[in-house]
Amino acid sequence: MIYKNESRKENNKGESKMKKKTAGIHHITAIVGHPQENIDFYAGVLGLRLVKKTVNFDDPGTYHFYFGDKEGKPGTLITFFPWPDAYQGKIGNGQVGVTSYVIPEGSMSFWQERLDKFRIPFTMTERFGESLLVFQDPHGLNIELVERKEGELNQWEFGHVTSDVAIKGFGGAVLYSSFPEKTSELLENIFGLQRIGREGDFIRFQSPSEIGNVVDVKITSSGRGIMGVGTVHHIALRAKDDNDQLEWKTSLESNGYRVTPVQDRKYFHSIYFREHGEILFEIATDPPGFAIDESLDALGKELKLPERYEKYRERLENKLMPVEVRNLDE
C-alpha cells in the first residue's frame, strides 16, 4: 500500500527544497541458532535464495548468511549470524521486534497452506487495514507476511515456491523502541520518511520505494530486549552510494548521533549508530552488490571469505559446520 505525499521544507529564501530521504530498508541482520536449521527455514520453507555464504567479518569463526531475491537486491536481504550454542535472547525494547515480508496479491492462501504443511503455527491479524500472516522462525524471530501490489515479482523459484507466490522482499519492520518519540523523530525528521498515521499501539512511516518501505514504531513498551538467539541485531537503511552515505553520516553527526567510521563489508559499505530509542542502525550502500565475487548463477554456492582471511580458509572450513541448501518439497 503506497501513500503519496511529498515532504518539503523551506529554505531561508523561501524556496521549496526536497528533504533528504532514504529509499528504505537495505537489510536486517539477526542472531539465530543452528545454521542448517536457519537455511532449511529461509531457503527450504520460505523459498528465499541464499545469495551469499560468508563469515562474520568481525568474528570469522561464525557464518554470515545472506538471503534475498534472485539477485540479492537491497530491500530483499535478511542476514544471519548463526550461534548454535548461544543463549536464547528476548525480543523487546531497543530492537526490531517484527520483520515483515511482502507477498504477491492473492498468494496468502498458498502461504497458509505451506506453513500448515511444515507444521508451523500461525495467526492472522490486521494493522493499518492490511491482513497479516504472523508466525515465528525456528529460533524465535517474529515474521509477518502481507499482500501488496507494489514491488516486482521475485524471479527466484525453489521447491514449490514459484514466482507468482514468492516473497518479493521486505514489507518493512516493526521497531520496539525504548523511547518511541525519539525513534519517530529520527525516522521523520532525519531519514525523511513520511508519517502515515497512528493506529492503536503503532505509528506508521513510509519511504518512497516499493519494497522495504514501511516502518512501524510500537509506542507501548515490550519490556527490555536482551540480545541472543532469536533477536534482531540491527536494521540497515539504504544509501545510494558512498557519497550519499557520507552525507547521511554528516547529517547524523550534526544532529548529535555518534556514527562509526565507514566499514568495508565487501558487498556494501556500512556505518553504524545507536539511536536514542536504543536500536542499532546501519546505513549501507546499494553497490557493489553480491555479484562482485560470484556470478549470478553461482550466488551462495561457495564459502566466500574476505581477502584477509583467505590464508585461514582450511582452518575456518574445518571449524564451521557443514551446511547445504535442501529442497524440502522433494
Q: Which CATH superfamily is domain 19-319 in?
A: 2,3-Dihydroxybiphenyl 1,2-Dioxygenase, domain 1 (3.10.180.10)
**Residue 100 bridge partners (DSSP):** 144, 172
**Cα dihedral 250→256→260→265 (10° resolution):** -60
Percentages of the chain per state (helix, strand, coil), in multiples of 5: 20, 35, 45
Q: Could you tell me the pLDDT band of residue 18, with boundaries at 50, 70 and 90?
A: low
How confident is the model over 132-148, as pLDDT tens digits? Answer: 999 999 999 999 999 99
Write the DSSP string, 202-230. Answer: EEEEE-SSSSS-EEEEE-S---B-B-SBT
How confident is the model over 96-132, as pLDDT tens digits? Answer: 999 999 999 999 999 999 999 999 999 999 999 999 9
The one-character DSSP state at 261 is: P
Residue 30: name the closest of 91, 79, 100 by CA: 79
CB 203 within 8 A of CB 219: yes
- For residue 44, give the C-alpha cell: 527450504
Q: Could you tell me the pLDDT band of residue 240, with boundaries at 50, 70 and 90?
A: very high
Residue 11, pLDDT > 50, answer no
For the chain, what are the domain ranges? 19-319
Rounded CA separation 79/9 (Å): 36
**Is the peptide bond preceding residue 288 cis, with omega within 30 degrees of 0?**
yes
Q: Could you tell me the pLDDT band of residue 1, with boundaries at 50, 70 and 90?
A: low
The one-character DSSP state at 190 is: I
Residue 7, pLDDT > 50, answer no
Q: What is the pTM assigned to this prediction?
A: 0.93
Residues of the chain with pLDDT > 90, as a percent, come to 94
User: 178-213: string of b/e by CB count within 10 Å (b at 16+)?
Assistant: bebeebbebbbebbbbbbbeeeeebbbbbbbbbbbb
